[in-house]
Amino acid sequence: MMKTVVAKALAVVLLGFGLTAGAVMASVEDEIRSRIAPVGTVCVQGEDCGESAAPAQTASSGPRSGSEVYSSACAACHDTGAAGAPKKGDAGAWSPRIDKGLETLVTHAINGFNAMPAKGGCGNCSDEEIELAVEHLVEASQ
């Protein structure tokens, strides 16, 4: 009789440990799933991914002015002469460049020239904005 009581008590204890361990494992597995869950989805053009996947359209107010583009992208080098860049307002340095024509200057600015990277490193500038910045720089350097 004593063995039966001990066996039953042992069975209850083991069952309790088993249930507790199962609950702990389920909790750990839930935590792991939440940590490795994807943070987003990819929508490939042409697939129907729902409206929430559509990029927000922002109204453009047109190209930035030459002065704005110059200040944000060109001034770092053309105000200081870094990497051999001709300084803004230095007519002597700009004269031979201006003699090559505005089209050449714009082409060099868009595609890069010597140490200057394409678009002066302004990845979000349009060709039109680069042209406006070149015109601004030329006007200030004549």
pLDDT tens-digit map of 9-41: 666 666 666 656 555 566 778 888 888 888 888
Mean pLDDT of 101-130: 93
Residue 29 tokens read as 């597995």
Q: What is the mean pLDDT of the chain?
A: 83
Q: What's the helix, strand, coil split of the chain in %, to 5? A: 65, 0, 35
Which homologous superfamily does the CATH classification assign to the domain defined by 66-140?
Cytochrome c-like domain (1.10.760.10)
pLDDT higher than 60, residue 132: yes
32 CB-side CA count, 13 A: 6
Burial label for 75, CB within 10 Å (0-12, 13-18, 19+), is: middle
